[in-house]
Chains A and B, each alone.
Chain A
Amino acid sequence: MNPSRGKAEAARRLRDTIAAQFGRSLHIRTLDTGSCAVCEQEIRLLAAPHYDLQRLGFFFTPAPRHADLLLVTGPMIRAFDVAARKTYEAMPGPKVVVATGACALGGVYPKDPFVHGNVGEVLPVDVWIPGCPPSPLALLQGLGVAVGRLAERTPGLTFIAGPAADGGEA
């Protein structure tokens, strides 16, 4: 199989996965934990005509209650701990957390006492997207990986209330 066929196949699978699991409406909540806002600029570009995120079934939402995917930028400043946890807990499961950019991955401020320097110390991160900032293309690829994780988690639903209700995580 030639590589472009493979990629077309991957894109089709991504679309089908989102369509099947989330009715073509996977909603993204962005969370800025002290970022310099360049990551946000790149995320905003995803909604612009060139990248047109909606064609793949992704949407941005301001409400964590409506979100399936938490897109975290910034080095996770310590003052933001409570807000970050509350945002995560407000989201219904199954949910994925995507750490975006070198700050969130522990790159830019590795030794600053005011930040955790790594989103993974506060939230259970599922996908890491490197880049400073990650380009919209890199974000699209990362979202594809995240959907794969979400799809893995969805069949794990037992419909039994309690801690196991959202795929075994707290």
Chain B
Amino acid sequence: MPLWFVRGLRRGVVTTRYPARRDDSAAWLPTPPAFRSRQLTREAADRMVAVCPSLALSRRDDILVFDVGACTACGWCAEAAPDVVTSSGEFELAATVRSALIKEIPIQGDEP
């Protein structure tokens, strides 16, 4: 018990200051993927669309349509195309319109 008392004094207040200040724990959150548009090829896009378990990804010609609202940040697309996908690190995603969460990523990897 005394150990915990000392620890409590040393670490101070545990309550986050968010939204007034940044919260460092946000760095560990699983966040939706971000796609490198320049490296993204149609073939890689189709591979990612095929593995996405929540149907958040689809391809419309030269555009990869990414529904952030449907994404569960499972990481399967990153496994299917590791050179294209990074973590966005973005968690402040709330929107007032559902369609605002559907992002269109241009596929530019096939261009010479």
Chain A residues contacting B16 (CB-CB under 8 Å) are: 50-52, 137
Indicate if the CB atoms of A131 and B18 lie closer than 8 Å: no
Query: A34: shortest Cβ distance to chain B, in Å?
Result: 16
Chain A residues with CB under 8 Å of chain B are 4, 7-8, 10-12, 14, 49-52, 55, 102, 105-108, 110-111, 120, 125-132, 134-135, 137-138, 140-142, 144-146, 149
Chain B residues contacting A105 (CB-CB under 8 Å) are: 69-70, 98, 101
Most A C-beta atoms less than 10 A away, residue of B14, B20, B73, B101: B20
Indicate if the CB atoms of B94 and A102 lie closer than 8 Å: no
- Measured between alpha carbons, how far is A108 from B69 in the docked complex, in Å? 10
CB contacts between A and B, total, < 8 Å: 115
Contact among A102, A108, A110, A140 for B18, CB-based, below 8 A:
A140
Indicate if the CB atoms of B19 and A141 lie closer than 8 Å: yes
Indicate if the CB atoms of B93 and A131 lie closer than 8 Å: yes
Indicate if the CB atoms of A11 and B20 lie closer than 8 Å: yes
Indicate if the CB atoms of A102 and B54 lie closer than 8 Å: yes
Indicate if the CB atoms of B71 and A107 lie closer than 8 Å: yes
